[in-house]
Amino acid sequence: MLAYVINKHGKPLMPCKPQKAKKLLKQGRVKVIRREPFTIQFLYGASGYQQLVTLGVDAGAKYIGLSASTEKKELYSAEVVLRTDITELISTRRELRRARRNHKTRYRKSRFLNRVKAKKKGWLAPSILNRINAHLKVVDNVCRILPVTKIIVETASFDIQKIKNPEISGVEYQQGEQLNFWNVREYVLFRDKHECQQCHGKSKDNVLNVHHLESRKTGGDAPNNLITLCETCHKKYHEGKVKLKRGQSFKAEAFMGTMRWIFLNKLKEIYLIEVRNTFGYITKNTRIRLGFPKEHYIDAYCIAGNVCAKRLNYYWYLKQVRKHNRQIHKLTINKGGNRKRNQTPFEIFGYRLFDKVKCKGEVGFIFGRRASGSFDIRRLDGTKISAGISYKKLELIVKRKSYLKERRGAVSSTQLNQGVSNAHM
């Protein structure tokens, strides 16, 4: 595992081997400023040599791939899992605020001039803004520990209407699938031929309902989230006797179409180095030619362009988590009219939620805590290490951050060596 180095002014230098870092620590010339990834800082001197380092970024709506490399060696590799709960949390907040406004309080006239959309041009939805900021944050984290000289971003554009209808052309792009229909409900009934899509008329129930496959709070009123059901099948669904799945969703494609140029232009504003974009078909061609499997951190390695560089045998798996829980009380009201708090104490016996700890000889994260001092320890993939263990048997490794880090092994060394040899051919 590499040790990342920065000088006394905070500027990144080229990383070194662990043996050299250990020697510098014994000499008292450096101090440890970060454990994951392991980073040291010189207390004095040391300008160090630098090489041309290219950072490849595989941007996405749910995952980000990162890979920084020189012509000879890969220096950093990571895969980031982004948050997908923003929409649901904001919808819950909206429900709570509306309920609060409907309480028996003084009348307050509606105000429409304080809307964010009206105040700010170029307004972005919070779910999109969070993802863009996450992309900028993870790129900044790499640039803080490596002297990056070039950033290459894969930008993807999707023709959603073409995906839905491959034969669309010309003026049809301006018409849409709901042309000449009064509303979405009328279109869905027409699309489903006024027939229950579960029993196809076998129940003999003539009452038809337009049902949300995914709750309207998170899925919206898009036609692909609506289906026609008869009253009988509709009741069976809510009784748990019928299971339905939503049709193809285009949230990720819509997000990429919105954020790709915003993200690229932001990088050009922040960093005074070469920042350019590449395209998915180039990445795919490179990955197939090298014989690598489809992984986001591998795509980022291909995007960086240094395909002859020696690959790392590990990568960092990062998971973005929320910082706070703003819902003070639970939605359900207990008997007697009491509303239980939705939060346990911020810190229990010196431990917080998502702290990285050592438990039973394994490393995991605190995913649940109780006031009694019993903790639920899991890995980032959800594997349980202990459902309830005392705080006395835990050892703190790293305090929680916005991004939980876990070191994982990369693809097998055979595949890595084969890919590099294919690049030389």
Query: Residue ranges of the domains in the chain?
Result: 3-42, 53-84+123-159+257-321+407-424, 180-249, 344-401
Rounded CA-CA distance 249/252 in Å is: 8
Q: What is the mean pLDDT of residues 125-131?
A: 89
Task: Kindly indicate the confidence band of residue 148, based on its pLDDT and cuts at 50, 70 and 90.
Answer: very high
pTM here is: 0.84
Average pLDDT over residues 261-275: 92
Give the model's pLDDT for residue 25. Answer: 92
**R_g of the chain, CA atoms, integer Å:** 26
Quick one: which of 65, 84, 82 has its CA closest to 74? 65
Q: What number is the average pLDDT over the span 137-160?
A: 89
10 Ramachandran zone, left/alpha/beta (phi>0; psi -120 to 50) = left
CATH topology of domain 344-401: SH3 type barrels. (2.30.30)
pLDDT of residue 413: 45
pLDDT value for 421:
55
| Confidence band of 424 (pLDDT split at 50, 70, 90) | low
Q: Is the dihedral of CA 253, 259, 264, 265 positive or negative?
A: positive
Residue 135 pLDDT more than 90?
Answer: yes
| Band of residue 130 on the pLDDT scale cut at 50, 70, 90 | very high
What sign has the CA pseudo-torsion 264, 269, 270, 272?
positive
CATH level 3 topology of 53-84+123-159+257-321+407-424? Nucleotidyltransferase; domain 5 (3.30.420)
Q: State pLDDT tens for residues 310-351.
A: 999 999 999 999 887 777 777 778 888 787 887 777 888 989
Contact call for residues 36 and 2 (beta carbons, < 8 A)? no
Strand-pair category, 74-81 with 314-320: parallel
- pLDDT exceeds cutoff 90 at 222: no
